[in-house]
Every structure is written in structure tokens, then in C-alpha cells.
Amino acid sequence: MEERFLESVRKSFPAAGATLTLGAPLLGGECHPEPLVTVPLSMMNRHGLIAGATGTGKTKTLQLLAEQLSAAGVPVFLADVKSDLSGIGVAGESGERVTQRAHDTGLGEPSDLAPAGRDLGLDQGARLEGSRETPRALARSTR
């Protein structure tokens, strides 16, 4: 991998202070074995967007961020409308593809964190948007 490219990545994502690791840089289909792409922990008090086509790793990215935030002592609230994250608290099986990707990016094996799932006490499919029940439902979830 070109050293000039890696220097640019290191300059763009300095490792100073507390950071969350997002992954390794890619160039021409080649994945650098060291996870250099990071975001400062202090930036995680802002809004963010994880977008992409089906199968591009949005849920895995969210899981990676949630795990690291939790490990740093930051409470994490994930609203899961479509149940995409329902398995986040269950230890996954490390298949060949997962193990290879973890090795390629330098992230290591996935962790076994046990999140505290909360139910808002609503019927399945109930919407909170614009509801007078929203504050009560969220308050119940934090007890």
C-alpha cells in the first residue's frame, strides 16, 4: 500500500486522545492491516448518520460504535424500529469470512457484551412519533 496514502490517513485520523476505531483504510481493493480510521470520543455527542446499500455493513458499524461507547462508559440508546439489532446481545458465530475480515482490519474478534435491553411497554407496531406517550415510554425504559 502506498506510504503517501497511509500518511494522509494518519494525518486525517490522528490517534491522540480517546478515540473510537471505525476500521482500516482501503486503497484499490487492498485493506491495510492496521485500523487507522478513528473518530474522537468527544465528537460522539453530535448527530450522525450511517448510510449505505444492503449488505455494506451499516449494522456492524453501529454495533462496533455501540460496543466501544459502552466500554468507554457512555450510555448507548439504540431505537430499533425494524428489529435489525435484535441479535446484538447474542454472541455471534465467528465464521471464516468474519474471522478473515477481523484479521484484515486489525480489529480482532468481536466482543461478548451483554446489553441491557429495555421494552417500552408498547404493542408491537405502535408508533411514538408525535405521541403524548413518548416521554412516559422512554422514562419507563430507563428504570
Band (49; pLDDT cuts 50, 70, 90): confident
Note whether 36 and 62 are within 8 A (CB): no
Q: Work out whether the CA dihedral 110, 115, 120, 121 comes out positive or negative.
A: positive
110-138: pLDDT as tens digits: 565 555 555 555 555 555 555 566 666 66
| Sequence-ordered alpha helix ranges (H) in the chain | 3-12, 58-71, 96-105, 134-141
What pLDDT is recorded for position 112?
A: 58
Band (41; pLDDT cuts 50, 70, 90): very high
- Name beta bridge partners: 37: 23
Band (47; pLDDT cuts 50, 70, 90): confident
Q: Residue 25 burial by CB count (10 A; 0-12/13-18/19+): exposed, middle or buried?
A: buried
What pLDDT is recorded for position 100?
A: 80
Pairing outcome for strands 30-31 and 19-23: unpaired
What pLDDT is recorded for position 129?
A: 58
